[in-house]
Every structure is written in C-alpha cells, then in structure tokens.
Structure 1
Amino acid sequence: MTKLIVICGATATGKSGLALALAMRLETVILSADSRQVYREFDIGTAKPTLLQQKLVPHYLVNICDPREIMTVADFQLSAQSLILEQQNRPTVKEKEKYGSSSPLFLVGGTGLYIKSIVRGMKIPRVAPHPELRSQLYDIPQHQLYGILEQVDSIAAQKIHPNDSVRTIRALEVFYVTGKQISQQQGENPPNYPILQIGLDCELDYLTSRIAQRTEKMIADGLVQEVENLCHKYGTDLPLLNTLGYQEIKQYLAGDISLESAKELTVLHTRQFAKRQRTWFRKVPDIKWFDIQSSDLQEQVWLTVQEFLAKSVRE
C-alpha cells in the first residue's frame, strides 16, 4: 500500500521548494496539483518546476495538455489515481525494505479541487464540457436556469446558490448529457492508503511581499516574451491567457497599461487569489499547518513526515 504526502497552501508559500527538498531525501517523485502547470508552454507565469528541478526529482502531471485543451477535475483525478496505483503496484526491493511498500508519493499544489478529488475520492461525473449546450444555457437568464434545476434536480439546487451560474449550468449540462441528476453521480469514496496533509501559511503582509518578489523574478526570467510568444502562436483570445500574470502582461503588450502597472495588478490579483486559497484550505480539518517564516521549517516538516511514515509501517 502506498502512502501519500500532500503539500498545499496559497500561491508563493514555497510548496514546490519544500516538496523538492523532501522528495530528494525520500528518493521519490512529485505529482503536481496545479491547474495551470498541466499545460505545455505556460512555464514562467505558472511557476512551473524548472528543467533542473525536474531532473533532480521526477515530476508528473506537468506539461500533459495542449493549451487549447480543457483539463477537467475528472481528467486530473483519473490521471493522478492511475499514477498512484501504478506506483503502488511496482515497488522496488529497496522501497520494500525501507518503507514496507512503495515509496511515499508527494502531491503538491494549490488547486484545492485537484487535491480534494484525490484525498476525498470525489465522485465526479465523467461529462466533458459541451460548448454548444452551454451557449444555449448562457442565453437563458440565471433565475430561469435555477428554476429549471430546482425542477430536474432539487437536491443539487439546495447545494447551489441561486446566483451561481457556473455550477447551475454545470448541473444542467450533466443532466441533459447523461439523463441522470448530478446529485446522484456525486459523493466521496476516500482511498484506503494513509495520507498526510501538510499546509504552508504565513502572515498576509509577508505573503504579499513574497508575491511581489516572485512577480519581479518572473518578469526578469522572461514572462513578457513568453506571453508575447503565446499570443502570437495561439491568439489573444486563448482562455489561459486570461489567467493570473498572463492577462496583465497581455494588457501591457496591447499598450493598454504600462509594465509597472502590469506588475502592480499581477501582485494585487495574485494576493486576492491567495486569500481565496487560504480560505479554502483552512476549511480542511486534516491539514497540519506550518509557518513558512520559521527558521527550521524544513526540519519541522521532515520530523512530521518521518512520524507519519513510521506510524504507517506499524499499522
């Protein structure tokens, strides 16, 4: 039986660096739980692991999608679960001697739904987005859509806010495509292997300064050129180019704002996004939290990981 170590938290809290250091000590691999790092060519603006980092520790679920494709939570879950099962079924002799089974795996990122889909074993309807159906639904006022949902799936409607058009449309999409209520296709089936969830956090002002520093580094590393190349290759209407960091630089390249303004907006929007991530993860009861401002952060986490692995072997 494999063991899973999750490292989560808001953007710019140092998840990737900590995971890399720990994975090197355990001689294992990292599964990325980042909804943008799955896309090829979106490198600098997503803080994707560098080629050197990927050589030091194998990273999976990175660069697996064309930017024009849509990677759903269900797609991610299927890929991640397959990788975990593969690792579980192929332990080496060294792994068996050291851990009693395959090496522990790291699941690292800030996309809460990706992590929840694995940790909680979310049951997700395998229904791909249907643009034509959605375009028809978008033409209907939200209050009418919600009324339809109340008629076809009252249980789902109770869990969705009347003004939440995204979830309302998704619930109707699943119903019209499968003929079954989305509420009947949802639920959880948690995995049977041990899981340790580690969360990284800090004071918001300190996090903001880290976001600002990282934004400057992205610019220095060539983010403007990356966005320019992506716009030229895929067109400025590519949805991924409307995400954090890319949208602001796209505005700069269009001459709408200055580079300095683009950087300021990136910091502002990233900070807002980080606050939402913190809210999400703080609601997860099983996460063990660590302050990234601690001078011995890595050793604190390392001791927690060792205790987890030792307990897992005993059980």
Structure 2
Amino acid sequence: MLIVICGATASGKSRLALELAQRLNTIIISADSRQVYQKFNIGTAKPSVTEQKLVPHYLIDICEPTENFTLAEYQIKAQNLISDAANDPPLLVGGTGLYIKSITKGLKIPRVSPQPELRSQLITLGQTQLYAWLTQVDAIAAQKIHPNDQVRTLRALEVFYVTGKPISQQQGENPPDYPILQIGLDGEVEELNRRIAIRTHQMIELGLVKEVAYLIQKYGQDLPLLNTLGYAEIKQYLAGDISLAEAIDLTILHTRQFAKRQRTWFRAYPEIEWFDVNNRNLLELVWQKIQEFSQSIVKIT
C-alpha cells in the first residue's frame, strides 16, 4: 500500500505528512524535483533537520546541484524504497506531478541519460529543422509535441538517435499492483495566495538571500537551478537589477502562477481524494480516510 499526499505549493503537505507518518510509524518519500539537490534548502522549503529526525525522509539531498537528476532515476529510487517498505505504507509527498505520476501510473521511461554533445549539435540546427526531423522519425511523438517546444523535441530526437527506436514506442504505463490512496490538499485561491505570501516572507527571514549569494559564489550564477522559482528573483536582486521588495513581490507572483499550474495538473486525476486545507479537523479526516482505505483492502484480500 502507498499513500500519496499531493497538492499545490504552500498547501500544507509536509506538515500533514509529518503528523501522519508519526501515527503510522512509517517513512516519507519526497516527490519534489528540487529537494533532491543538496544545499538548496530554504528556497525549496526542504524539511528541517528537526523534522527529518522525527520521521525518516528519503530522496532529499541525494545529488549535487551540478548533476542532472532524471525522472527515470527518481522512479527507480522511489520504487525501490516503496518495495523495501512493504509492511508499512510509506508516504509519497510533494508537488512535482510528474514524479508522482511516474510512480502511481508506472510510467515507462526510456532509460537514456542526457547527451550534452548531441544536444549541442542539434540545437545549432534550429527548432524548425529539429521538429521537421522529428516528424520524419517519430510522427506519433511529433503530434504530441508543440512545434515550438524545443526541450521535448530534443529529448525525442535524443532517445531516437541513442536507441534507434522512436520514443513513442518506448513510452506508456505499467501501474503498480499495490493499492494506492491519493490525498490531495486544496482550498480557496485567496487562502492559498495568503499562505504563499507568508511562506515567501518566512524564507527571506530564514536567510534565503544569504543562501542564494552562497550558491552563486560556489557554483556561479549560470547554474540552471538558480533560475528556478525563488532563486531567480533573489539572483536579480543580488545583481542589482531589482530591489529586495520587488524580488519578494515577483517571487510571490511567480509562486502563485506555479501553484495554479499545479492545481490544474492534479485536478485532472479523478482518483485523488480532496481535502480542504482550512478544515480544522483536516488531520482526523485524512486519518479516517486512511483507516477506511486500509480496511477496504483487508476485505478485498
């Protein structure tokens, strides 16, 4: 059995998961695409040292910021952790929809690592030519990729040139055979926006500016991760392009936009059981749902 806790950023996933994990005496598996990287702590809302001592957390701080951690690597590591925790239902917690989908749907992911040299050569040809090639070697994939989407076009061509097979023939789903309960946290947009604003200011108070300055000094300002949410805005401030107040406002705005996309993603999956983040009895309601789900599994078996 697997329990998923998902939802938009700042919806309270981590706090709820921490309380549930202690009741269940189980582990938490992170489903956050930035928390896998070391030293990116405050801006990714990574669980504190104290929280990680209360409950074992996995797939956090597992690679260097300069590494390219792929979805395929995440899937393998998460699946292994779930298998090892067969007796106690682990909690898969996060807001990276593709990470969660890779587990709950058992996505078939081509095991082809990024090919920097090949990509650099392909990029020089221009997106128009690249997409034209893709339509020739993998028309099915091309139909699902927008002509201007260079990232997905490059990936499809990369897989084709490395394996000799179209990426469309290597994709699909192979759902796991264990039962999965998916818990989603959501609420009124105004409340989620309020939470985002509060958390952004808390990150500043915790030392986000200092963290970004350190990361720039250590890895250089061209590090791709420094162009992600929260870090990019503070990097602009440190470069003297905008004021700190403007950086904070931009972070709040961009986080709200990101949260909207997350909500749209998760709402597309009817199997998710939704709970209101403002409900005072949230923990007990979710706990009751877990008990009911567990009992239904026992009856079936």
Deviation of 1:161 (Å): 2.0
Q: Residue 96 of structure 1 corresponds to which residue in structure 2?
A: none
What is the distance in 2 between the residues matched to 1:23 and 1:55? 12
Q: Deviation per CA, 1:10-32, whole angstroms, max 9, x where unpaired? A: 10000000000011111100000
Q: Residue 295 of structure 1 corresponds to which residue in structure 2?
A: 280
Deviation of 1:233 (Å): 0.8
What is the distance in 1 between the residues matched to 2:122 and 2:179? 42
Q: Deviation per CA, 1:5-64, whole angstroms, max 9, x where unpaired? A: 000011000000000001111110000000000001100000000001001000000000
Q: Residue 312 of structure 1 corresponds to which residue in structure 2?
A: 297
Structure 1 outlier segments of 4+, above 4 Å: none
2:138 corresponds to 1:175 = no
Given the two structures, how large is their TM-score scaled by the length of structure 1?
Answer: 0.93
Deviation of 1:70 (Å): 0.8
2:184 corresponds to 1:199 = yes
What is the distance in 2 between the residues matched to 1:255 and 1:50? 30
Q: Deviation per CA, 1:238-282, whole angstroms, max 9, x where unpaired? A: 111111111111111111111111100000011111111111111
2:199 corresponds to 1:214 = yes
What is the distance in 1 between the residues matched to 2:207 and 2:299? 49
Q: Residue 66 of structure 1 corresponds to which residue in structure 2?
A: 64
Superposition pairs for residues 7-86 of structure 1, below 5 Å? 7-86=5-84
2:268 corresponds to 1:283 = yes
Aligned match of 1:127 in 112, 126, 130?
112
What is the distance in 1 between the residues matched to 2:197 and 2:225? 22
Instruction: Give the letter aligned to residue 137 of structure 1.
Output: L
Deviation of 1:82 (Å): 1.1
Which sections of structure 1, spanning at least 5 residues, go unmatched? 89-101
What is the distance in 2 between the residues matched to 1:113 and 1:33? 9
Q: Deviation per CA, 1:212-242, whole angstroms, max 9, x where unpaired? A: 0000000101111111111111111111111
Q: Deviation per CA, 1:79-107, whole angstroms, max 9, x where unpaired? A: 1011111222xxxxxxxxxxxxx011100
Q: How many residues align?
A: 300
What percent identity do the matched residue pairs reach? 68
Q: Residue 125 of structure 2 corresponds to which residue in structure 1?
A: 140
Instruction: Give the letter aligned to residue 35 of structure 2.
Output: Q
Provide the secondary structure at the position in 2 that maps to 1:186.
Answer: coil
Please, what is the CA RMSD of the aligned residues? Answer: 0.9
Aligned match of 1:238 in 223, 227, 236?
223
2:169 corresponds to 1:184 = yes
Q: Residue 113 of structure 1 corresponds to which residue in structure 2?
A: 98
198-207 vs 15-24, greater mean Cα deviation: 198-207
What is the distance in 2 between the residues matched to 1:17 and 1:235? 33
